[in-house]
């Protein structure tokens, strides 16, 4: 079991990212926290400093490949990175309209390219360091495409498959890779949902599950368990049946 001391987290200004930042905010730990919203990022950073961590706050757009590369390299020069969490992401939904081209491209850019821009430079530096751990934030929505959020499901499916594949590839380089597939966790993403969210979880509880899973180097960290089992069952149904069920589900606004 490895306890990381230097952690880089994208999307740390709210939701699971903020909860993970606070989870790792302990005396002696060094946190590099990124986000696009400086005000919310300030709040997260202040909470982490109060808990005794050293915090480097970075206003960063994960779709900016060059900026991501530079900041991750710079962070590792200050303190060798033990753990990088590619968490930044956005949701979307069709509501009563089809998903627009601009919405689709934005979701794909942040959720997929943002992960690539975070993970690829991390692999490079961790190979040089001789070790490291990478966590990729996917979703239970990655197991089945839903008509209410096509781009979100697709982007999360892509990063989940990529991360699970990388795990075997990078093992020989002493780099651990875990993929996180949470259900509904209280955040800005879920706050706009107007439909029932089974097993809705507080961010602090989700962060504890993730943190303990990473310590054990779990390949896939999925929760809550009842919803994970239900999603696996749903994804295994014949397509005609899953399409029928999907058509009855509420639209994400």
Catalytic residue numbers read 152
Q: Are 207 and 19 in contact (CB under 8 A)?
A: yes
CA distances in angstroms from 159 to 118, 187, 195, listed in the order given? 12, 20, 26
Buried b (16+ CB within 10 A) or exposed e, 22-55: bbbbeeebbbbbbbbeeebbeebbeebeebebbb
Q: Are 241 and 59 in contact (CB under 8 A)?
A: no
Alpha helices in the chain (DSSP H): 15-23, 38-50, 65-78, 101-108, 114-129, 150-170, 188-191, 203-215, 225-235, 239-248
Region at 252 (left for phi over 0; alpha for psi -120 to 50; beta for the rest): beta
CA angle, 218 as apex, 216 and 223 as ends, to 5°? 110
């Amino acid at each position: 079991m490895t306890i990381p001391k230097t952690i880089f987290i994208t999307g740390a200004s709210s939701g699971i990212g903020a909860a993970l930042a606070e989870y790792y905010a302990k005396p002696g730990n060094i946190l590099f926290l990124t986000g696009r919203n400086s005000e919310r990022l300030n709040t997260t950073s202040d909470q982490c400093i109060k808990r005794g961590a050293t915090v480097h706050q970075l206003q960063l757009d994960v779709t900016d490949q060059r900026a991501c590369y530079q900041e991750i390299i710079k962070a590792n020069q200050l303190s060798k990175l033990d753990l990088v969490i590619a968490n930044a992401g956005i949701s979307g939904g069709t509501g009563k309209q089809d998903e627009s081209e601009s919405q689709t491209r934005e979701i794909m850019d942040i959720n997929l390219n943002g992960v690539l821009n975070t993970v690829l430079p991390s692999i490079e530096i961790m190979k040089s360091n001789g070790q490291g751990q990478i966590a990729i934030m996917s979703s239970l929505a990655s197991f089945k495409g839903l008509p209410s959020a096509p781009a979100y499901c697709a982007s999360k499916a892509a990063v989940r498959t990529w991360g699970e594949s990388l795990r075997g590839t990078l093992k020989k380089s002493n780099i651990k890779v875990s993929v996180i597939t949470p259900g509904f966790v209280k955040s800005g993403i879920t706050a706009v949902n107007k439909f029932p969210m089974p097993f809705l979880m507080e961010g602090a509880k989700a962060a504890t599950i993730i943190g303990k899973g990473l310590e054990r180097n779990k390949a896939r960290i999925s929760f809550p368990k009842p919803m994970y089992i239900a999603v696996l069952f749903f994804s295994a149904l014949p397509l005609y049946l899953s399409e029928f069920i999907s058509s009855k589900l509420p639209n994400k606004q």
